[in-house]
Amino acid sequence: MINKTSIIPLDLTLLVPEFPGGKWDLTLTLISSGKELILVDTGMPNMYSDIEIQMKNLGFPIEKLTGIVLTHQDIDHIGSLSDLLEKIPSITVYAHKEDKDYITGKHTLIKGLPAMLHSFVEDFSTTENRIDCLVEDGAKLENAGGMIVIHTPGHTPGHISLYHPQTKTLIAGDAMVIRGGKLMGPNEMNTPNIKMAYRSLIKLTNFDIQKVICYHGGVFEQDVNKQIIEITKTYFTD
């Protein structure tokens, strides 16, 4: 019997008065496949309750989570990992080896936050974090519906994206963003190796993508592969 895999955007909002519009939207992803329930990324610190409420609204009790895949080390992606592990210690955590030591606190995170967000991370610590399974480029995550891991470094050394062949869905992490309804490359201010990040986008064109879920911007479904090619052309020809 083949288990149907559902890939569901999970939208969270952080109220930040200094931001345009007074808020910061984040799009996590739930992957439901058989008995497995996987969360991709964990939001900012202290967002456990927000995740719990949104999952409940979607019909998924948070205690049913079996795994967490971290696309990379940035605090808005790993912020609530320790709370999730404290509440649900049976969760298996996946990440790329290049970001592991940052996520677990062995090294300091390579990027900070704008001053306007400092109040949200005053008590944040990575010391209680753990990674149970290191993933590599090309790995197939059977418990996540057969998601294929794509190593997309540049935004961070261990940044990964996830591709689901059956639904032709890409979970981009921060490899791309959506602004004003337009698919765009990574945020240059927060991407230490921007050239490598755009080379990673070229790698994505090897996949037939019909839908992309961006952590910042949500869902995009309009000629995705064509748009990615145009994004890379613009960077490498400017």
pLDDT of residue 23: 85
pLDDT of residue 15: 86
φ and ψ at 150, to 5 degrees? -120, 115
Tokens encoding 66 = 């079996």
pLDDT of residue 1: 43
Cross-sheet strand order for the sheet of 160-164 = 140-141, 147-151, 160-164, 169-173, 211-214, 218-220
Q: What's the CA gap between 134 and 130, in Å, rounded?
A: 11
The HSE-up count of residue 127 (CA atoms within 13 Å, CB side) is 3
Cα–Cα nearest to 194, from 182, 183, 207, 185: 185
Domain boundaries, the chain: 5-237
pTM as predicted: 0.95
pLDDT of residue 187: 93
pLDDT of residue 214: 99
Instruction: Please say whether the beta carbons of 156 and 169 come within 8 A.
Output: no
Identity of the amino acid at 32: S
5-237 maps to CATH 1.10.3720.10: no
**Scanning the structure block, which residue is given the tokens 């952590």?**
215
pLDDT under 70 in the chain at which residues? 1-3, 114-115, 238
Q: Following DSSP, what letter does each residue of the chain receive, concatenated?
A: -PPPEEEEEEEEEEE-TTSGGGEEEEEEEEEEETTEEEEE---STT-HHHHHHHHHHTT--GGG--EEE-S---HHHHTTHHHHHHH-TT-EEEEEHHHHHHHTTSS--S----GGGGGGSTT---TT----EEE-TT-EEGGGTTEEEEE-TTSSTT-EEEEETTTTEEEEETSSEEETTEEE---GGG-S-HHHHHHHHHHHTTS--SEEEETTTEEE-SSHHHHHHHHHHHHHH-
pLDDT of residue 83: 96
pLDDT of residue 63: 98
Reported as a single tens digit per residue, the pLDDT across 135-168 is 999 999 999 999 999 999 999 999 999 999 999 9
